[in-house]
Amino acid sequence: MKALRKLVDKIKPNFQEGGKLSMFHSVFDGFETFLFVPSKTSTSGTHIHDAVDSKRMMSMVVIALVPALLFGMFNVGYQHFLATGQLVATYWNPQTAQFWNIFLYGVALVLPKVIVSYVVGLGIEFTVAQWKKEEIHEGFLVSGILIPLIVPVDLPLWMLAVATAFSVIFAKEVFGGTGMNIFNVALVARAFLFFAYPTKMSGDEVWVGTNEVFGLGGGQLVDSFSGATPLGQTAVATGKEFVIHNVAGATTSWWDMFVGLIPGSIGETSVIAIALGAILLLVTRVASWKTMLSVFLGGAITAFLFNTFGAESNTMAHLPWYYHLVLGGFCFGAVFMATDPVTSARTEKGKWIFGFLIGAMAIVIRVLNPGYPEGMMLAILLMNIFAPLIDYFFVQANISKRLKRTTKSINA
């Protein structure tokens, strides 16, 4: 650690005003504050300073996302080998070659997406920081890994790059950078992709990698192959009774969906992996348990109401509520997107309403609009707009309550 500090101090003059590399000043500053907590203190006014600055907070979210990322990689490979009928019984055993084939296939497809997202996003952040002569905002650390996790595996890299650039510029930088954005940056990227390139973001063709990648995988697809996600299948089904199939045509159980061995966006499938991340976020108090819990409550209650009163012909309405909660991006959105401290409600009571409406709205969109079998993205973006309004009412209510109390005590 000391050696690193010495190295940083040694190269520091190069990056300061007038130094040889002063054009990379903001880049250096970004890395220095990433490695060491800055020693700067405020010189005016009264400040409460927390030991955990936003860089440390962001790193925590990134660590929380690692289980979902690793499982996502494994699942990408798993779906591929299942679709080509090459899966052997011991695929889950890390001692076997099959396990590593599966995992490496996923790595080969997912890692480029992560790299593209970071290079494009951080490139824009660094440029803007240098241009405005500011420090680099750390916000993209999280967005950069969220974006690849919420897209289908078949998405071309250039589309990912375009969407990342769009959302960093128009959802974040034009509003003033990290902490000033109205909408969740990663979800704006996804919404952009969803509306700009619908053929690559929805349907039956994009959720499973079917081609050979760097000599990994490949092979003939089984005859019964269908790449539709469970939610996609439910959206097009009719009638009350309905069985969900996996990519090879066999029945999918609730347990499969819970574990996450189903087609879907890369990081969203496994409830277990997301739960591991959620525990870390809750223990470190980075995310609010109120928001998280209320999203699940809202979703469960709304889905339960549809189960009880929904129209006979609407299969999605009769998908049991405990299926709704584990399918699609519901868990991922609830844990990593709804709890985004920048775009969610900040008042403690407001968090309950904010979260509850996200859950409720996601299920309403799923059930009532067959065009959008996944409602989580639109629900969170919609509630992002309402978050300031919710906060406003709670703050105003508190002000008027206190005002009443004071006037009462004066009168008495």
Give the interface with other proteins as residue ranges (CB under 8 A). Answer: 156, 158-159, 162, 170, 192, 195-200
For other proteins, give the closer residue by CB, 192 or 207.
192
Quote the CA–CA distance of 279 and 311 in Å, as a whole number: 37
Distance CA 248, CA 254 (A): 17
* Nearest to other proteins of 30, 209 (CB atom): 209
Question: What's the DSSP call for residue 333?
Answer: I
Nearer to other proteins among residue 195 and residue 255 (C-beta): 195
Contact (CB, 8 A) for 168 and 126 = no
Nearer to other proteins, 196 or 385 (CB): 196
Rounded Cα–Cα distance for residues 361 and 369 (Å): 11
295: left (phi over 0), alpha (psi -120 to 50) or beta: alpha
Q: Is 260 left (phi over 0), alpha (psi -120 to 50) or beta?
A: left
Strand residues in 59-175 grouped as ranges (E):
none
Smallest separation (angstroms) from other proteins to the CB of 30: 26
- Report, in Å, the least distance between residue 362 CB and other proteins: 21
Q: Closest CB to other proteins among 52 and 169?
A: 169
Q: How far is the CB of 267 from other proteins (least distance, A)?
A: 24
Tell me how far apart the alpha carbons of residues 341 and 355 are, in angstroms, rounded to a whole number.
12
Q: How many H helices and E strands in the chain?
A: 16, 0
Q: How far is the CB of 195 from other proteins (least distance, A)?
A: 5
Q: How far is the CB of 41 from other proteins (least distance, A)?
A: 32
Tell me whether residue 128 or residue 303 sits nearer to other proteins (CB atom). 128
Closest distance to other proteins from the beta carbon of 199 (Å) = 7
The answer to whether 334 touches 359, Cβ cutoff 8 Å, is: yes
Least distance in angstroms from the C-beta of 110 to other proteins: 19
Contact 336, 61 (CB under 8 A): yes
Which residue lies nearer to other proteins by CB, 190 or 290?
Answer: 190
